[in-house]
Structure 1
Amino acid sequence: MLRLAVLVLLLANLGYYAWSSGQLQPWGLAPQSEGEPERLQRQIAPQNLELLPAGRSTPPPAAPPATPVPAETPPAPAQVAAEPVACLQAGPMDEARAQGLRTALASLPAGSWTLEPGEVPARWMVYMGRFADEETLARKRAELRALKLAFDRPGAAFEPGLSLGRFASEEAAQRGLADLVARGVRTARVVQERAAQPRYTLVLPAATAALRAQLDALALRWDDTPLQVCT
């Protein structure tokens, strides 16, 4: 058996040598040739090869593409400064004064002014009077001082008399009277000092210099209701 194995191995080596050396090529048994035609067929794009000069191993980097210079942007047109405006108001004023302004301001641009309605609320008073003479008035003042109660003049419509307090509602005035009665006052009563009265406020929401000039040209008299900045 050993001899047979050695013989087989020897024959195999002889066969491989004959195959690899091309001795069996006439019978079509030979390894694939690595000759020049086969290598040329396996080249890929040989025209792209570049021969470098001595001392350089890589081609120089390609220059970056030139960045286009943007066209100069023309300067934006200068903005015209907005005309300053201010909110102005005048008042409060009564119905007669408001009606006069409606007529006088009719020549101004529409929407440049308005009369805002409001109201002066009614007011009540705890009142003593009307007294027959100054002597009676002086005696009542002395009585109130003795009771250590404050008082003042009631206004022209209620003279001669005394006011012992003014209130924003009739109910509050009645409570004030009850307190005074408890402290010894006997002849006081609650009266309405004034009824509710309409009032108006003139408002110019966006008064420009041009509008002020128009307003000045009307030569209006503001008296105790001058124009001022809106509050």
Structure 2
Amino acid sequence: MLLRTTALALLFANCAYFAWSQGLLAPLGLAPESAREPQRLAQQIRPEALRVTPVAPEPAPSAPVAPVPPAAPASQAEASTPAIPAATCLQAGPLDNTQAEGLRRALAAGGVPTAAWALEPIAPPDRWIVYMGRYTDADALEKKRAELRALRVDTAPITQAALAPGLSLGVFSTQESASEHLAQLTRRGVRTARVVPEHREPSSVRLRLPAADAALREQVQGLLAGRPLAPC
């Protein structure tokens, strides 16, 4: 009986609390305080006049501006600019004797100043000779030739005046090749030969313009029959 009474009491209390919390007992003056506080709305002054204004974003920091270097003095600016040569050394060739003589006449007839051009000899590159000599006379030369013939060594007469009369045992384009040939002849019994340079005489010429401006270049180019002018 007591347990039943307690359960009914708890049920009645829960129902009473629910009715009170939901405001069902407000007509009896039993209701919780409202959390909406309507009295605060009554205290507002013209709420319809309020406007929300967006805040402008802060400008991003600008990149630092590099300082402008001061202008260089006129003398320094001129020194830093490479000078353009007013005249250039030019040349054309090789020309044989007949071509050189024809060009010489054409330059003179065209009024090209003689100081503006020159025909320079072109010497062939030196060669190297395995050489024997000089001999006092033709008999001494023939005797040495016979000795070399017995050793089966080929010889040829020397045409260079500074080395005649003498014998050539071989002509080579480099000193190393001539020295190697001399070593072979020494092993075969040749004793007095040596390597000497052979200076050959010029066989052609080239036209040289030491200081040719544009006008001189154009004038001379027309006299070269298609041969190009090239830098010296």
TM over 0.5: no
Quickly name the TM-score band, shorter chain normalised.
Answer: 0.3 to 0.5
TM score, norm. by length of structure 2 = 0.38
TM score, norm. by length of structure 1 = 0.38
